[in-house]
Amino acid sequence: MADKDGLQIAKDYQVDVPFAQQGDFHVKGAKNLDWGMKKHLTNIFNPETGKTVMFAFDHGYFMGSTKGLERLDLSIPPLAPYVDVWMATRGALRTCVPAGLKCGVALRVSSGSSMLNDDLSHEVVAVDIEDAIRMNADCMAVQTFIGGDGQLSSLDNLSKVVNAGFRYSIPTLGVVAVGRDMERTDRFFKLATRILAELGVQIVKTYYCDNFEEVVAACPVPIVVAGGKKLPEEEALTLAYNVIKGGAAGVDMGRNIFQAENPVAMAQSVYKVVHEGMSDKDAFELYKELKSK
């Protein structure tokens, strides 16, 4: 065990130096992976832009019915043209999302908590690798609770999924959870994202923070950023803009799309920021124009 007192504070992130092991594949940290993994990652990250718009609507797995997601069958399909990847549970996908829509799948495979508990940090792996294969999942999403009560069990869940993923060439998406009492600092996110990458995930989902560029530089796999609590649309587009500018490989946005006044217009505007480098100001103008049609 490393002597914690002897550890030096990391500071040399060289944020302006590109990732040195990119090779000829468009996804960070993936150049040495198997063909099947690369194929799934290409279903997630657009090979032309290297970026992704993941749309998260897996909230029901612990929140039940949520504002904006009351009727998945009605609200989800119209978003498909502006979404690269659905992040969802197998129940939501099988019942409410036509398989014919051309979106990748980030399948939520951990569960076990609910809004009725104070401590949400204890989960299990709820979906067999066989079912992830049947669902044609492009990655499997596992919640992790670094620094929380459920740290050990969540990293055990994560490692089991990473191992199964390597057996069948399905990437794992490690989700950094922030508990009520956990700090949302770059120090925490550098720790959490790096732990997940070193445990073998191919993608990390985390939150935006100060010094975000350093979090990205220190993480050898792509980072996608959660939207978090609902913000006014203009601020949510600024968040999307800042995370892309800060080096994220995309967003994994939920409430800021499905709780927007016009979710389809919002998804379309986020897509422009992520894939076309549109500024947040222009994207907000676009949002207002699309909303008024």
| Nearer residue to ligand 5RP within complex by CB, 33 or 226 | 226
| Nearer residue to ligand 5RP within complex by CB, 43 or 256 | 256
C-beta of 75: minimal distance to ligand 5RP in Å? Answer: 14
| Nearer residue to ligand 5RP within complex by CB, 38 or 188 | 188
| Nearer residue to ligand 5RP within complex by CB, 58 or 214 | 58
| Nearer residue to ligand 5RP within complex by CB, 219 or 226 | 226
Residue from 10, 14, 2 nearest 217 by CA: 14
C-beta of 70: minimal distance to ligand 5RP in Å? Answer: 15
C-beta of 60: minimal distance to ligand 5RP in Å? Answer: 10
- Cα-atom radius of gyration of the chain, to the nearest Å? 18
| 205 is a catalytic site residue | yes
- Burial class of residue 98 (count of CB atoms within 10 Å of its CB; 0-12, 13-18, 19+): exposed
Annotated catalytic residue, options 28, 38, 51, 205: 205
| Nearer residue to ligand 5RP within complex by CB, 55 or 284 | 55
Residues of the shown chain interacting with ligand 5RP in the complex, contacts defined by CB under 6 A: 56, 58, 87, 143, 175, 177, 226-228, 253-256
d(CA 132, CA 290): 36
Measured from each CB, the residue nearest to ligand 5RP is 254
What are the angstrom distances between the C-alpha of 242 and each of 50, 251, 283? 17, 11, 13
C-beta of 131: minimal distance to ligand 5RP in Å? Answer: 19
C-beta of 105: minimal distance to ligand 5RP in Å? Answer: 13
C-beta of 134: minimal distance to ligand 5RP in Å? Answer: 22
Give me the DSSP letters along the chain.
---GGGPPPP----TTSPPTT-TTSSSTT-TTS-HHHHHHHHHHS-TTTS-EEEEE--THHHH-S-TT-S-HHHHSGGGGGG-SEEEE-HHHHHHHS-TTS--EEEEE-EE---TTSS-----EE-S-HHHHHHTT-SEEEEEE-TTSTTHHHHHHHHHHHHHHHHHHT--EEEEE---TTS--SHHHHHHHHHHHHHTT-SEEEE---TTHHHHHHT-SS-EEEE--S---HHHHHHHHHHHHHTT-SEEEE-HHHHTSSSHHHHHHHHHHHHHH---HHHHHHHHHHHHH-
Give catalytic residues, as residue numbers: 205
